[in-house]
Amino acid sequence: MAVGTIHRRPGPAGTDARGRRDRRRRGPGLWHFLTFAAPGTLVYLCLVLAPIIMSVGYSLTNQALLRPRTEFVGLRNYELLLRDETFLQSLRVTTILTLIVVIVPNVLGVAVAVLLDRRGWLYNALRSVFFTPMVISSVVISVIWTRILADDGPVNQALRALGVREPPGWLSDPDIALYSLSSIVCWQMLGFCVVVYLAGLQGVPQELGEAAAIDGAGAVRRFRHVTWPLLAPALTINTVVLLISAFKIFDHVKVITNGGPGTGTTASVAFVVLQEGFVENRTGYASAEAVVMLVVIAALSVVTLRILQRREVQL
Amino acid sequence: MTIPTGPCRARIRTNDRMSFVAMLLAVTLAVTGCGSGDPSSAPTSAGGKQKVSFLIFPSPNLPESYWKAQVALVTKTHPDLEVELVAAPSESERNDYAKQLAASGQLPDVQIGMQDLIALEPSLEPWTEEELKDFLCPTCGAVNGKVLQLPANTQTIPNVFYNKKLFAKAGIEAPPKTYAELLATAEKLKAAGITPFVSGGAFVTSQPWTAILATDLYAKTPDWMTKRRQGAVTFAAPDMKAATQKFADLAAKGYIDKRQIGQDYPKTQEAFLAGKGAMYPMGSWFAAAADQSEMKADIGVFAWPSDDGSLHLPAYTGGGLSVSATAKNVAAAKRFALAFQLTKENLDASVKADALFPAIKGYTPPSGTGPVFKSVYDLWQQALAQKATVAPFGWEAGDTAMVPGMQGKFWSAAQDLVSGEKNVDQVLSFLDTEWEKSG
């Protein structure tokens, strides 16, 4: 070190020796950050958060869109909901629909993904085939299936040709309609599950399977003890996405059955919320239903996510 | 990489701030720009014409071409009017659509065929006595004393259209005159392997129920709905229960095919015209489609028979045009609406296309209407002569209608009765509960 050199002591963290703030360490400036964050944040605040907060407010009133005067009614809407057979029926319908839509595409999705986890043009083509319903509009799919399942549609015509004198009323029998509707949703969501599981399968190291095979494990045991545990993240994604999608299902119900046949045999909570709000004009009451729906979806999602993520860690 | 210092760095900070402000403005503009424009915000066009928006509903009988031709007839005689058509998603959804538009401040200037006038009352402009002077029933469908919709035409809901060939095939020589004969007719048809009643969807399924309520309830208690609105009766009342039980029995006996309730309205109409059932309880407007079909000569009409054979025909007068209270040019909108309803060519076209009975003073239907229309029209005239018209349950208008939102519940409840999902007590209890909620 040369004599006469002036040594500058380093300043506090984030400053140079003269105490000036070091922009290189701090990264981009606040305004720079806000420029990128503001659009998304504003859109989120205006189109998601604000409507949710407003809905909670409306749920405490007797607001009707076409009635000029709105009064504060406290928790009365929530009290009525507990006794409202239409709403309770919609909760039952949604629960059944959600259970079917979460379980069936998950189970079939794993099976199809395992079958398609091969190389070759045929498998690539089949992957596209399975994913196609996912990219088609739900309304288009619903119209197509309505025609297919009509009493004089191809399914019943085929059954009649096979000698079935009175084929089922797939969409007109109240005991069957909900399951027909669920099946259509499952069919559409299957492609999504297959793609997520395929991605998961392709992330499973081949060596693990080979090592298990050398140890004498058969195909089933290899899948159960090696592949399936490593698919845990895919299961988490599929389950949470299906759960949320099924719970807020509306378009299929509107197009295929319009909540019927009869009074609410296939009416989901989302369908009832829109009916109450925009057909019967009870927006305050519909807001209360929407708030309950939000709370239920949020609670179920958090619980499911926690359980499945804990399973991921344990595995 | 060179890190700018001094004035250069300060400029960057200023640029960051400016780009942030610019982004904020852009997002604000984008968000505020999302609101749709008010369709009636430009009352005059570039050519100085007065613009009027008109909510229509395309249906199997009334395709968009029909509405365009109807409007063209008016603008031919009122060249200063320019009419923009706004189509509702479907015939059955036109009321819900109108309410949604009204709630969001976008109700077109003029609408046709609105049924939920009570809900729409704050959004509609009342008609004056002078404006209603040409209408046969100027106070029909009034809400709180205000006539909000031109009472332009009468429809009978339902009539029973029947397939003469299928009746003959089952050995039935004449249409039934009493309710007992109707049941016997249905039994004979069923025994011959013919579906007695064609049914489908929500409102078509409810048609026999409306018919039974006309002969068994409204014929005896014409102000039943007014009493229900006052809380003096409920759906669980004995007369309502007995009539509803009759309807449920029709399904229980297999006279209504419960598998048909899943099909939509156009398919139901097609089913009857394709001979998939012998009787079709339906509004008088079906006569238009019947007259355009190949089997028009084989379609007969009778009124739903009462127990003692006396005539009680459900008829509704209203269904005309209404004008939005928030229309930018109410006078132009009213002028268009009145011209639309009173122009002879328009009325003739509505008779031919939708089998309407114009309720206009001095009007007579054109010659050259089809045989089914003539039968339905004659039946109505016969009921008028005998003073035997009653209100059609579920189709009433204004102060005598069900409370808003109940019509759809009534229709859905009919499906529950046909499918056997609910029994009569459960259905009537459901209707009472929903009524209280709606009220």
Any A CB within 8 A of B26 CB? yes
* CA angle in degrees (0–180, nearest 5) for A62-B395-A281: 15
User: Residue A241, class by beta-carbon neighbours within 10 Å (0-12 exposed, 13-18 middle, 19+ buried)?
Assistant: middle
Residue carrying structure tokens 């209603």: B132
Residue of B nearest to A37 (CA): B20
Q: Residue B266 and residue B261: Cα distance in Å, rounded?
A: 13
**Protein fold of A85-314:** MetI-like fold (1.10.3720)
> Is-cis flag, bond preceding A261, omega within 30?
yes
Q: What is the pLDDT of residues B147-159, one digit of tens each?
A: 999 999 999 999 9
H or E element: which one contains A262?
none
Q: Residue B35 and residue B39: Cα distance in Å, rounded?
A: 12
Q: Cβ contact (<8 Å) for B416 and A174?
A: yes
Q: Between A42, A66, A280, which is nearest B122 by CB?
A: A66
Q: What is the pLDDT of residues B160-193, one digit of tens each?
A: 999 999 999 999 999 999 999 999 999 999 999 9
In order, the DSSP letters of B233-268 are --TTSHHHHHHHHHHHHHHHTTSB-GGGGGS-HHHH
Q: What is the pLDDT of residues B331-376, one digit of tens each?
A: 999 999 999 999 999 999 999 988 999 999 999 999 889 999 999 9
In order, the DSSP letters of B48-117 are SPEEEEEEE---SSS-HHHHHHHHHHHHHH-TTEEEEEEE-S-STTHHHHHHHHHHTT---SEEES---H
Contact yes or no for A202/A145 (Cβ under 8 A):
no
Residue A85, token pair as written in the block = 């057979």
Contact yes or no for A312/A236 (Cβ under 8 A):
yes
Contact yes or no for A212/A222 (Cβ under 8 A):
yes
Under CATH, domain B50-155+317-374 is a member of which superfamily?
Answer: Periplasmic binding protein-like II (3.40.190.10)
Q: Cβ contact (<8 Å) for A174 and B263?
A: no
pLDDT number for residue A203: 87
Residue A89, token pair as written in the block = 């029926």
Q: Between B23, B31, B262, which is nearest A171 by CB?
A: B262
Q: Residue B405 and residue B120: Cα distance in Å, rounded?
A: 12
Reference A268, options A106, A108, A79, A101; nearest CA is A101
pTM: 0.79
Q: What is this model's ipTM? A: 0.74
Architecture in CATH of B159-282+402-438: 3-Layer(aba) Sandwich (3.40)
Q: Residue B285 and residue B271: Cα distance in Å, rounded?
A: 16
Confidence category of residue A21, pLDDT binned at 50, 70, 90: low
pLDDT number for residue B96: 86
Any A CB within 8 A of B229 CB? no
Any B CB within 8 A of A280 CB? yes
Helix (H, G, I), strand (E, B) or coil at A121: helix
For chain B, what is the mean pLDDT? 89
Any B CB within 8 A of A26 CB? no
Mutate to test the interface with B, among A33, A83, A280, A287 (most CBs of B within 10 A): A280
pLDDT number for residue B80: 94
**Which B residues 29-58 touch A at CB under 8 Å?**
31
Cβ contacts of B267 on chain A, cutoff 8 Å: 150
Computed over its alpha carbons, how large is the radius of gyration of chain B? 26
Reference A118, options A195, A202, A239, A235; nearest CA is A202
In order, the DSSP letters of A58-83 are HTTB---TT-S---B-TTHHHHHHHH
Please state, in angstroms and as integers, the Cα–Cα distance from residue A240 to each residue in A298, A308, A310, B146, following that order: 11, 9, 14, 54
Cβ contacts of B123 on chain A, cutoff 8 Å: 66
Q: What is the pLDDT of residues B376-422, one digit of tens each?
A: 999 999 999 999 999 999 999 888 899 888 888 999 999 999 999 99
Between residues B71 and B115, which one has the greater pLDDT?
Answer: B71
Cα B123 from chain centre: 19
Mutate to test the interface with B, among A66, A170, A265 (most CBs of B within 10 A): A66
Closest CA of chain A from B426, distance in Å? 11
Residue of B nearest to A65 (CA): B103
**Which A residues 49-108 touch B at CB under 8 Å?**
65-68, 80, 84-86
Q: What is the mean pLDDT of residues B259-284?
A: 91
Sequence spans of domains, chain B: 50-155+317-374, 159-282+402-438
Closest CA of chain B from A131, distance in Å? 29
